[in-house]
Each structure stands twice: as structure tokens, then as C-alpha cells.
């Protein structure tokens, strides 16, 4: 895990650091304690689903 990770939003084109992304519960059957969905803080679109269970 590194705070330097960034994600490019395919909707608005923003480059969003993982630390700046909104986090929400994942979709489907994924465990919210282990996985989080990162959302663009600008347009709200989903950027990635990340594993957080090893922190």
C-alpha cells in the first residue's frame, strides 16, 4: 500500500490520488471491511475497487 497511488477518472479526466478519492462500500458480495470502492471526488464516478484488508 502506498499513498502515491493515483487513478485517472475516465469520466471527467481527473487524476485522483487514492487518499483524495471518496470511499464507499463495494458492490456485490465483497466484504466492506476488506474492499472499498474509490470514487472520483469531482464527478462521483467509480475509479477502482481496492483491497484494504491488509492494513
Contact residues for Zn ion, defined by CB under 5 A:
9, 11-12, 14, 40, 42-43, 45
- Cβ closest to Zn ion, residue 12 vs residue 34: 12
- Cβ closest to Zn ion, residue 48 vs residue 53: 48
Question: Could you tell me the smallest distance in angstroms from the CB atom of residue 39 to Zn ion?
Answer: 8
| Whether 37 contacts 24, CB under 8 Å | yes
* Best CA proximity match to 40, nearest among 21, 27, 23: 21
H or E stretch covering 21? none
Question: Could you tell me the smallest distance in angstroms from the CB atom of residue 29 to Zn ion?
Answer: 26
Amino acid at each position: 500500500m502506498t499513498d502515491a497511488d493515483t487513478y485517472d477518472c475516465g469520466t471527467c479526466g481527473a487524476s485522483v490520488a487514492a487518499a483524495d478519492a471518496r470511499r464507499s462500500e463495494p458492490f456485490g458480495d465483497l466484504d466492506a471491511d476488506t474492499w472499498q470502492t474509490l470514487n472520483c471526488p469531482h464527478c462521483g464516478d467509480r475509479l477502482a475497487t481496492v483491497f484494504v484488508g491488509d492494513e
